[in-house]
Each structure stands twice: as C-alpha cells, then as structure tokens.
Amino acid sequence: MPIISQDDLNLWMRRDRKVQRKRYLSWLIALIIIGVGFAYISRQTMWEFVSDAPRQIRDFLSRMFPPDVKYFSRIWPALWDTINISIFGTGIAVVISIPLAILAAKNTTVHPIVRGVVLAIIVASRSVNSMIWALIIVQIVGPGMFASIMAIAIRSLGMLSKLMYEAIEEINQEPIEAITATGASRVQVFFYGYVPQLLPTFIGTSVYRWENNIRESTIIGIVGGGGIGLLLNSAINRLAWDQVVSVLIVILITVVGSEWVSATIRKKLV
Amino acid sequence: MVEKHMVSISNLVKKYPSGQEALKGVNLEVNANEILALIGPSGAGKSTLIRCVNRLVEPTSGKIIINGIDVCTLGYKALRMQRRKIGMIFQEYALVDRLTVMENVLSGQLGYTGTFKSIFRKFPPDVVDSAIKLLERVGLLDYVDSRADQLSGGQRQRVGIARALIQRPDLLLVDEPTASLDPKTARQIMRLIVELVIEYKLAVIINIHDVQLAQMFAQRIVGLRDGIVVYDGTPDQVDNSVLTEIYGEEDWDQGKKRHAQEEDDDEDDDIDQVE
Amino acid sequence: MIVQTSVDGLRAWKKNRAIKSPWIRVLILLVIIAYFILASQSVEINFERIRLGLSRIGTMFNGFLRPDFLSRGKYIADGVLESVAMTIVASSICLFLAVPLSLGASRNIVPLPIYLVCRVILMIVRSLHVVVIGIIFVIMLGFGPLAGVLTLMLNSVGFIGKLLAEDIENIDKEPLEAIRATGASWLQVVVYGVWPQISTRFIGLAIYRADINFRQSTILGIVGAGGIGGVLDTAMGRYDYRTAGAILLVIIAMVLVAEYISSHIRRRIV
C-alpha cells in the first residue's frame, strides 16, 4: 500500500507515515517507562557494593572449585527429604484438589454459591507463592519437613484445581448423556462418563505439577526448613562456596532427572 | 383403562430458558413393534422431542405416557427404572472413547447393576454372555478389547447399537444415526437397526433428515416443522406436496430429473461407441 | 479378553490389565508401600510444637481478616512499586538477551559448538530456582532490587530462550533456503527468514513471562532481593498479622490483574 510515486520512481516504504509515527511514539513511551523503572531501582541500590562485585565474583570462582566431594555424604539424606517433600506435597494436593475441582466446575458443582467459595480458595491458593505460604505455615507448625510439605501442598492445590476444573468444563457431554439415558445412577454416570475422560488429564497435570514441585522443594527449606534448601542456605551463610557448588550440582541433576521422568510418563498417557 | 398405544405423547411443549420454543404442542402415538421415522428440517425439534421421551430434556408441559406410565411425573429413582427400558442411539455415537468396546456395551446395563459391582466391572455372567453375542451379531467380536476411539465411524455406531440393545429395551430412540456416516455405511447401519428392531420386537422412533433412507426403512413417517406435527402417514404417501409442507418450497424433482437425464446421456454414449 | 466359563457354556469377559504379570503387579505395590513407610519416617511431626502453633491460628486469621493497609502503608506502597519496577526492567532487558541465546540454541541456525554452549547455559539457568539465583546475586551485589532485577532477567532468559529455541527449530525451512539462495548473509537470513516466523510467538512469550516475573518478584524480597516479599517477611517476623493480611491481599489482587492483562494482550495478538 505505501507506494509513493515521485517523478518516475515508485518509492516503497514498509509502513505509511502515520503508522510509522505511531510506532515511534509507542517505542518512546516504552523507553520512558523502562527508564523510570531503572532510575527507581538505581536509587534503591547501593552502588558501592556493586562496584565491589567483580572482586567478589573472582573470589567466589576461586573458592568454588574444586567442589567439596566429601560434602556429598551430607547431601544425599537432604536430597531424599527433598524428593519426599515434593511427592507428599503433590500427593496431598491431588487428593484435595479433585473434590475442589468438581465443586468448581460449572457443570458438576452442587450450587453456585459453593462454586464461588471454592473459586476464591483456588485463586488465593495459586496467587500466593509456596515460599510465602511457607512463611505463614512455619509460624503455625514450626520449621521442618512438615511445614515445607504443607506449603508445597497448599500452593499446588490451587494450580491443580484450576487445570482440573477447566478440564471438567471442557468435557464431551454426549457420552455423559448416553450413560444417563441407560438409567445409570449419578455415581455410575460419574465413574463411566466422567472418570475415563478425565483420568489421563488429571494424571498428566499431577505429574507436571510434581515436576515443578521438585524445583520448589529444593528451595522451600530456606524458609520452611527441611530438604536440600536448608543445606544450601547454611552453606551460603558460611560462605562455603565449594559446598554450595556441590549442592547446586545435585539440584541440577535432580531437576533434569525429574523433567525426564515427567516427560516420559506424560508421553505414555496420550 | 388399557392403553392401546405403547407411547402416547400429548400437548408436549418445550421452552428453553433462552426463550426459544422447540416444541409447540406435539401429539403423537407410537404402537408396539412400529418403526417410525421422524423427519423435518434442522431446528424443527426432532432432537428435543426424542430427548423428552427419556427426559434427557425436561419437558415444559404436556404428557408422555409409556406403557401406562407418565414419564413426566417420575422422580429420580423411578425415572432411572423407566430409562432402563428405553434404549438410545446417538448421531456422534456418544461412546466413552477411552473405555474398551466391551465396557461401552456393558455400560448399557448400568441401570440393572449395583454401583460397586459396576465400578469394578463385575457384571452378571448372563449379561456378559449376551454382550458377547451382541458384539458377534454386529460383527465386532474381534474388537472387544479395542479402545472405542480406535474404531471407524461405522464400527463405533455398531457399538452404540449393541449398548442400546443390551438394555433389553421396549422402545428404541434413534437420533440421526447416519448423519456422520458415508452413504454406504449409512444404509448398512440403517439396515442393521431395522433388522435388530424386528428381531427384538421393539418400537422405534428414528430421527432422520435423509428422506430417502426414511422411506426405504420406516413403516410410518411423521413430519415435524417448527415444533408441530405436520404430516403423519405411510412412506409411499410422501410426495412433493408433503415435502413442501414439511420443509418449505423447493423444486423437489430437479435432482431426480437431472439424474434421469444423465442416465439417458450415458446410454447415448454407449450407443455411439457401439456404432 | 474373552474367557470360557464352566457354567452352561456361557462366555465371560475380563478387562485386560495394563501390567499382565500378577507378580510384577504385586511387586510394584510392595515397592510403593515400602517407599511410603520409609519416606514417612523422615517427616518428623512435632505435635507439641503444632499444638502451640494452633493457638496462633486464631490470632493469625483474626489479623488476616482485618487487614491493615495504613499503618505500614508507605512500606507496602514502596514494595509494590519496587516489584513493578523490577518486573518492567527485567522483562525488557531479557528481550534483548533471549533472542540471540535462543538463536544460538537452535540446531538449524548455528554450528554445533555454539549450539552446545548455548544449550548448556540454558540448562544450568533453567534448573536453578529463581530463589537460588537471587541468593547468589544478593551476596555478590548486596541487598536491594538490583539483585532482584538480575535474578528475574537471568531466569526469564532461560525460560524464553528454551521455548523460543524449540520454535525456531520447528520453523519452515524452505523460506530460509530461498533467502540463502539469494546470497544473503547469516544475519540477513535471520532477519528475513527466521524472525518473521517467530515474532508473534516471541511477543506472546515475552508478555507471558512478564506475568511470571511479577509473581516471582513477590517472593524475592524474602531473600533480600527487593520487592513486596521483603515487607511481608518483616511483617510476619513482627507477628504483625494485620499488615501481613493486607500485603497478601495486595499480592493476590496484583497477580490477578497482571494475569488478566497478560492473557488479554496475548489473545489480541494471536
């Protein structure tokens, strides 16, 4: 469209002037917003500390290698705890989120008011990060694996319920109608119509959530106590960088491993 | 008073919450062992009508009496007992995709089976045996353990038929059984349904938009338009004026004429070639 | 599977099991039971501590239900502003880093050595939880939002880099060949052949990521990397549940707003 004839030449421009001007303007506004943001952050930053960073980094690197191999004997029990936190946390969340999802889905809920309440619970649960949940729970049950498990479970609850109730709402209604038409009871309609359609989705989202929770479990110990996060935190506080690297290596392997397990299981479900 | 009709529907009205009036006072009787085809344009209320019979759709007002029982007044439990005697076959087959063929067929017996037994797939031996016989009859015995979503359209509809018949129904409701099938499979499926209906001595209401198929397989044709019965008669009485009454103005002979002409042309060609 | 019964020549049917051998089924069950027994031993629940903590639940909820936005209003406002500023700056800088990295991590664009280097970088960045990166930056640069910005940036680069690289590896290769055939340079091939195929997806990812950045900015404060999380941590530490409740509500509201904006824009683009 923006082809302009000038003398004998046809000029082509990618956009006409008006559009081009608008684009420049929006770029300008974006730059200003970013600039203001950066100025704000700069004001809150102690630049003396930052100027010290290169020396610090050199210091880390020299003290990071070689990693402390002996420390691994302390890491294994903590890793076992971390894996248990992720599995128990996810497990508890799955058990609770199934009834919540059924109550939250438009087509299976018992009453609109119940649905509203459940939706509010789901939103609160998933908008607040597990670290923040851990802050709260630690004050109730004290630091330790139990607090970490609860924090992971409460956060996952909302995440899982949301995906599950969306799956229930998108279910194919025709088979449900057909099962109802045979004179089946509500419980039977649930087990023959809903369960087979939903089970693979539910298992898939649960496994995916577990994969995420492994990641979260590696750090939840910083606040909640228990697991490899606790070890990491204490190593960092002691500035024992060779031990920090050992922990990070184990975290890396665990996370990559859990991704592989999760991907394998989900591939089989289709 | 002895009911002389198996199903008798009177003044049936259905208004959807959206305000749309799908049925505006339908009166219809169906006799035992009768094969009735319900034809009419889309949106005429065919689907709503047969779904009212087993109350998948709640009628707004009117009466539906089946074997002397008014379906509209039944409570949850009694309605389930009534539904067991009414089989239903669907347009998109309505199978549970992730269950096996056998599980889909056995799901037709849910109304007769206890909840726990059905969850653990423990159906009575004679039911399982008749499911196997039915699958043999519809030609799917080799597929018992296949998942329903691995079958072709025609095969899936056969599973749907077996599921409806294992209920041992008195009445069969069939909703556009061939609309998702190719013409050849459509005829095969219609033939199978009609054969089985005669074999099991059922009454059947078939929603079907293909007038030709309806004329070929039904004993009685009922035309529905805008939620009202506008024709009720035998298949051979359905002529152009009846079709216009049901579907609206249209040149009903055009297709046939051209068809006939093409056949003539073909013959001419043949003659030319011979010469 | 169909089996012959002894009764009256009736045929019976049994559902095929996913795992055929009954021995393996029992074995799997035993392994699962053994795991749960072993794992649950590492979870110590200190009932005495929980009993003490439960009495605190009342106080806590009492505080949460009467949120106090005002008495520490300035800190809350600062925290929110800081989170927003961190999100904007980190999200915008990450755009410039993610594109080259994702190009480098695409086998169909770059030679093998560069590909491997970029993939390893992505893998390491992705497997470290955002909080771990946060701790490291805080130690290097001191407390404050700058550490948070760099943390979010690194984490976003890993996220966008990986997903975008997958998209680049799946692009239609014919246009690339056509442009290469005109004698275009590597950069010209990228600008004319690759970019038009991934730009929409890239913008979608960037906006989605900005949404995630905002969520994460709410927890970085717990480890001292700036944002609203620090204010919450302080409030919880002082058992000031009314302020904590107010902050939680603010977080939930802002996360929902960010999510709404993000999905709204993405829907308009696609």
> By residue range, what is the domain housing residue C81?
68-269
Residues C229 and C131 in one domain: yes
pLDDT, residue B2, reads 47
CB B159 within 8 A of CB C42: no
pLDDT, residue B268, reads 47
Check CB contact under 8 Å for A180 and B86: no
DSSP type of residue A110: S
Check CB contact under 8 Å for C15 and B103: yes
Q: Which helix (H) or strand (E) holds A56?
A: helix A53-64
Mean pLDDT of chain A: 86
Check CB contact under 8 Å for B163 and A181: no
Residues C72 and C118 in one domain: yes
Check CB contact under 8 Å for B95 and A175: yes
Residues C12 and C118 in one domain: no
> Count of H helices and E strands in chain A?
12, 2
Please report whether residue C56 resides in a domain.
no
The letter for the amino acid at C74 is: K
CB B201 within 8 A of CB B236: no
pLDDT, residue A163, reads 92
CB-CB: which of B100, B132, B145 is closest to C11?
B132
Distance CA B231, CA A250 (A): 78
Instruction: Give the range among A177-186, B156-165, C202-211 with minimum mean pLDDT.
Output: C202-211
- Residue of C217 and B263 predicted with greater confidence: C217
Question: Which one of C2, C5, C13 would you mutate to disrupt binding with B, by most B Cβ within 10 Å of its Cβ?
Answer: C13
Go through the domains of chain A in sequence order and give each one's CATH number: 3-64 (no CATH), 72-269 (1.10.3720.10)
What is the SS3 assignment for B232? strand
Distance CA C241, CA C251 (A): 15
- Residue of C193 and A174 predicted with greater confidence: A174
pLDDT, residue A2, reads 63
Closest among A160, A147, A156, A157 to A81, alpha carbons compared = A147
Mean pLDDT of chain C: 85
Say what angle helices C241-269 and C228-237 make with each other, to 10 degrees.
Answer: 160
Q: Left, alpha or beta for A227 (phi > 0: left; psi -120 to 50: alpha)?
A: left
ipTM of the complex: 0.84
Residues C172 and C236 in one domain: yes
Residues C253 and C148 in one domain: yes
The domain spans of chain B are 1-85+205-264
Structure tokens at A116: 């509203």
Per-residue pLDDT band at C189 (split at 50, 70, 90) = confident
Say what angle helices C241-269 and A130-141 make with each other, to 10 degrees.
Answer: 160
Check CB contact under 8 Å for C2 and B132: yes
Check CB contact under 8 Å for C144 and A46: yes
Check CB contact under 8 Å for A179 and B107: yes
CB C168 within 8 A of CB C103: yes
Collect all residues with Cβ–Cβ distance below 8 Å to C160 and sequence separation of at least 6: C94, C95, C98, C102, C202, C205, C206, C209
Share of chain C above pLDDT 90, in %: 6
How does DSSP assign B162-190, residue by residue? HHHHTT--SEEEEE-TTTTS-HHHHHHHH
Closest residue in B to A197 (Cα) is B98
Measured over the CA atoms of residue C159, residue C161, residue C163 and residue C166, the dihedral's sign is negative
Number of domain units in chain C: 2
CB-CB: which of C56, C124, C141 is closest to A49?
C141
Check CB contact under 8 Å for C132 and A87: no
Residue B234 CA neighbour count, 13 Å, CB half = 2
Residues C10 and C102 in one domain: no
Structure tokens at C157: 């680069």
Contacts of residue A187 in chain B, CB cutoff 8 Å? 115
Please report whether residue C33 resides in a domain.
yes
Looking at the complex, does the CB of residue B84 fall below 8 Å from at least one CB of chain A? yes
Residues C36 and C140 in one domain: no
Distance CA C19, CA C14 (A): 14
Looking at the complex, does the CB of residue A139 fall below 8 Å from at least one CB of chain C? yes
Look at residue A76 and tell me whether its pLDDT is greater than 70. yes
Closest residue in A to C142 (Cα) is A49
pLDDT, residue C6, reads 62
Please report whether residue C208 resides in a domain.
yes
Residue C200: give its domain's CATH number: 1.10.3720.10
Residues C174 and C108 in one domain: yes
Closest residue in B to C5 (Cα) is B125
Q: How many residues does chain A have?
A: 270
Please report whether residue C58 resides in a domain.
no
The letter for the amino acid at A8 is: D
Please report whether residue C51 resides in a domain.
no
Distance CA B204, CA B36 (A): 6
Residue B211 CA neighbour count, 13 Å, CB half = 19
Residues C209 and C261 in one domain: yes
Question: How distant is the Cα of A267 from the closest Cα of chain B, in angstroms?
Answer: 16
Q: Which option is the CATH number for B1-85+205-264: 3.40.50.970, 3.40.50.2300, 3.40.50.1580, 3.40.50.300? A: 3.40.50.300
Q: Cα–chain-centroid distance for residue C34?
A: 32
Residues C73 and C38 in one domain: no
pLDDT, residue A159, reads 92
Collect all residues with Cβ–Cβ distance below 8 Å to A262 and sequence separation of at least 6: A207, A208, A210, A211
CB-CB: which of B125, B126, B144 is closest to C2?
B144
Closest residue in A to C93 (Cα) is A34
- Kindly state the average pLDDT of the residues A230-251: 85
CB B171 within 8 A of CB B87: yes
Collect all residues with Cβ–Cβ distance below 8 Å to A195 and sequence separation of at least 6: none
The letter for the amino acid at C63 is: G
Looking at the complex, does the CB of residue C15 fall below 8 Å from at least one CB of chain B? yes
Contacts of residue B173 in chain A, CB cutoff 8 Å? 181
Please report, in tens digits, the pLDDT of each residue of chain B (275 residues total). Answer: 445 688 999 999 999 888 888 899 999 999 988 999 999 888 888 999 999 999 999 999 999 999 888 988 888 889 999 999 999 999 888 999 889 999 999 999 998 988 888 888 888 888 999 999 999 999 998 998 899 989 998 999 999 999 999 999 999 999 998 888 898 999 999 999 999 999 999 999 999 988 888 999 999 999 999 889 999 989 888 888 888 888 888 777 776 655 555 555 544 444 444 43
pLDDT digits (tens, 9 = 90+) for B11-61: 999 998 888 888 999 999 999 889 999 998 888 889 999 999 999 999 999
